[in-house]
Amino acid sequence: MLDGLIVSIDAMGGDDAPEIVIEGIEYFLKHEGKGRRARFLLHGDQPRLDKLLKKNPLTRERSEVCHSPTEIAMDEKPSQALRKGKGTSMWNAILAVKEGRANTVLSAGNTGALMAMSMLQLRRMHGIQRPALAANWPRPEGISVVLDVGANVEATASQLAEFAVLGDAFYRALFKKEHPSIGLLNVGTEDQKGHAVIKAAHERLAESDIGLNYKGYVEGNDISFGNTDVVVTDGFTGNVALKTAEGTAKLIGKFFNEALQGNPWSKFTTMLNSVALIKLKKRIDPRGVNGGVFLGLNGIVIKSHGGTDKVGYSNALNVAIGLAGSNFLEEIEREVERLHDEDDNIGFIE
């Protein structure tokens, strides 16, 4: 029986699961997990997992396998996944958190299925209309957080205000900053710009007295180059921005490699600047910010990119363990209650 901080793992979720999942845990324990006494509940095909654990001794020592005979395909619709439900590795991984056998759940599987199963089992926090998916985003100095990046195609003004509360608590828990700054994504920073929902959310946040460090409107380029810690938007816009940034990073990496390897002189200069280039590669590597979080549920659910490798999976584990050791769920509950108390007092309307 495991004790201490326990991460429930959907070991069959992801493009290259379960191999990458086990290799990711092993990488984490070798490079990031020293002194962190996390343990792991692995849900999946026991024969396959036992075979992999023989090759990964650190993971074997810290883990317990819970056999799950079926898995959710990456292209399954949420409704199909819910019909499979019990018995799948994803369902059982979430169930461990619901039953109190684990502190958090991590899956690299189907995003829609993970959201649907998490909503069904863990339920929304009191006062939360819709959970949001938060993603870490690199910037010149540190990390920003963007939400929603795909859980909700549309969002009302009230929901955007809730996302600001969720993002505030999440940032404080993960990055230990007392008053993170918050911006609302818009097509411009001028007051007259934006559609009615954005304007209503802006008015609500600007007039709020619950202690959020709200800075007003921000533009798309501010996600990467601005000074705002948390950027709030709807899931449609956030997901498009996220996928655009990922594609741009890959394109830059491709152009960069082609330029460096184009001729003997390029190869020579690459060798001379190898240390600086290694640092640059690490800074633009999307694996370093892997690990989205479903915020607003009665439990901590982490979504890893389905196509990540062991390094990216290790970073998602870092997020899972960092949040599991915090009190951000309680902080969200307190702030959401205060937000809606304000709504009642001022008669806020969508």
List domains and CATH numbers for the chain: 1-122 (3.40.718.10), 127-289+326-350 (3.40.718.10)
Residue type for position 169 = A
Q: Under a CB-based contact definition with an 8 Å cutoff, are residues 282 and 290 in contact? A: no
DSSP secondary structure, 162-202, as one string: HHHHHHHHHHHHHH--SS-EEEEE-S-SSTT-S-HHHHHHH
Residue-level pLDDT, tens digit, the chain, 350 residues = 555 799 999 999 999 989 999 999 999 999 876 556 789 999 999 999 999 999 999 999 999 999 998 999 888 888 888 888 888 999 999 999 999 999 999 999 998 899 999 999 999 988 888 889 998 888 878 888 998 888 888 899 989 998 998 999 888 888 888 899 999 999 888 888 888 999 999 998 988 877 889 999 999 888 888 789 999 999 899 888 888 877 777 777 777 667 667 666 666 565 555 555 555 555 555 566 678 889 989 999 999 988 888 999 999 998 898 888 877 788 788 777 777 666 655 454 45
Using the 8-state DSSP alphabet, how is residue 306 labeled? Answer: T
Rg (the chain; Cα; Å): 21
Q: Under a CB-based contact definition with an 8 Å cutoff, are residues 231 and 160 in contact? A: no
Task: Give the SS3 label for residue 103.
Answer: coil
Q: Under a CB-based contact definition with an 8 Å cutoff, are residues 163 and 147 in contact? A: yes
Strand (E) or helix (H) holding 134: strand 132-138
Distance CA 334, CA 155 (A): 22
Using the 8-state DSSP alphabet, how is residue 138 labeled? Answer: E
Distance CA 92, CA 182 (A): 36
Distance CA 197, CA 230 (A): 19
